[in-house]
Structure 1
């Protein structure tokens, strides 16, 4: 039987590009054009809800039981804490012979309230009402941290575990992030009070005690150099 090489032609139909093959028996058959799925093996589809969850931090308001001149959400608070924590680490290194990793401190601060996308933001007076409640809430936070971590693809989990799991943070890292967290809450009080909102008077007094308990040289420097500007108007800080 003589060998007949198949020939190929394509239709000009703009809606359907067909491939015509001349078979050895003389008949033609129409095949759908090959798709990329036929050429490149499909990889396993992975869907992670991790960052979709984190994006909802902007929907969780802080200070929920208090009247606010301007509402603050957890997402923007986390960024401000990262700013301040990074500054504290840099100040510690430059001014007070520290050797901490300022970039890692900033990263830990960015994620320090990530678990609240699952737990919500429990008001501080409730969270620390007594040691038993504080202890149980820490357990809830730990469960939320593990749930978030489990949302990540397995090949990324080790990289994020040292960020999300606060048990893997050093004492120094934890202390600096806590200092920054308290400082940012204090700055919120100053902003509300400067706008005439007396609702934050008691919170300011409580946070002054917290700052005294978390005292450090780098915090004193930040309080002296940077904090006074937060009570000034836009015109005053633009001079």
Structure 2
């Protein structure tokens, strides 16, 4: 028991495969996802700061780096399952919170427990940093599915998750960083060469056009 166990459990994040149970050309793990989300959040925060918004960088980095720590206990749950209903999502969140709280009580020194309860709590909230985390998380998921679609993976789940991810990102189109993503990054992404390009472009443009409808 103690911090040794916390450090030891970090390696478990490397063994947790995202989107389990489906054929993938490239396996992504939770540890890599957390790193990528942090890097994406850094860019999004930079855009927000450039446009005059104050970014709490300490909060943003802590939210991004720690946002999937609970998956050490639950594993990665497929997006369509986790978000099938508000009640189910709430139940998953409650289980994760209870398991993280128990872990902190057992393994983190008492004098640091309050700090880690705040640090490891759900980071997606109404703050600018929480909104950036929500977007960064879905951008990485979008790119994971884009990579499979680009390699002609026939599994329809990847198109479904791509669409759900983009729709979630669009919910934050009031952010300068999301406007930048829509106007500059998505068009560049769609110029890459891949076979199901027309279908993906059609899906993407349909979601983007709904924003202006």
TM bucket normalised to smaller: 0.7 to 0.9
> How many pairs are equivalent?
188
Render the CA deviation track for 1:110-136: whole Å, top value 9, x for unaligned: 110001001111112221222221121
- Greater strand share, 1 or 2? 1
Aligned to 1:220: 179
Gaps in structure 1 of 5+ consecutive residues:
1-44, 234-239
Render the CA deviation track for 1:167-191: whole Å, top value 9, x for unaligned: 7966322211111001110111111
Selected match of 1:135 from 70, 76, 90:
90
Aligned to 2:164: 206
The reply to whether residue 164 of structure 1 matches residue 120 of structure 2 is yes
Selected match of 1:180 from 136, 140, 145:
136
Alpha-carbon distance in 2 for matches of 1:120, 1:217: 33
Paired residue secondary structure (1:83):
helix
| Cα contact 2:146–2:162 (8 A) shared by 1 | yes
Gaps in structure 2 of 5+ consecutive residues:
194-213
Equivalent residue runs for 1:66-145 within 5 Å: 66-94=22-50, 96-145=51-100
Are residues 167 and 219 of structure 1, via their aligned partners in 2, closer, same or farther at CA, if it must alter by over 3 Å? Answer: closer
Selected match of 1:63 from 13, 19, 28:
19
| Cα contact 1:48–1:153 (8 A) shared by 2 | no
Alpha-carbon distance in 2 for matches of 1:193, 1:168: 28
Larger Rg: 1
Deviation at 1:204, TM superposition (A): 1.4
Alpha-carbon distance in 1 for matches of 2:68, 2:2: 26
- Greater helix share, 1 or 2? 2
Return the structure number with greater relative CO, CA threshold 8 A, min gap 6: 2
